[in-house]
């Protein structure tokens, strides 16, 4: 989802953020989730590398376990 208009702290236009939330099936060890988050974080930074000349980008990654009440098919 892209939001064309957003404000960050001091409302400076060159400041930006990318946040990714990944929901996975429960049961993974915390160490595996941490490693996955780090890999995704590094991939996001690589993907947006060309934008870093124009923007101050803050990145964050969140790994969540799906609730027990989900549907898969």
Residue 62: what pLDDT?
96
Nearest CA to 36 among 17, 64, 10? 64
Model pLDDT, residue 69: 84
**φ, ψ of residue 23 in degrees (nearest 5):** -105, 130
What are the mean pLDDT values of the chain's consecutive 10-residue runs (73 residues total)?
A: 66 84 94 97 95 89 91 78
Q: What is the pLDDT of residue 7?
A: 64
The full set of domain ranges for the chain reads: 15-65
Domain topology for 15-65: Macrophage Migration Inhibitory Factor (3.30.429)
Largest Cα separation within the chain, whole Å, is 44
For residue 61, the model assigns a pLDDT of: 97
């Amino acid at each position: 989802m892209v939001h064309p208009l957003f404000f960050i702290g001091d409302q400076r236009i060159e400041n930006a953020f990318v946040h990714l939330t990944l929901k996975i099936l429960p049961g993974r060890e915390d160490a595996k989730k941490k490693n996955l988050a780090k890999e995704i974080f590094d991939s996001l930074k690589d993907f947006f590398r060309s934008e870093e000349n124009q923007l101050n980008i803050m990145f964050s990654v969140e790994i969540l376990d799906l609730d027990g009440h989900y549907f898969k098919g």
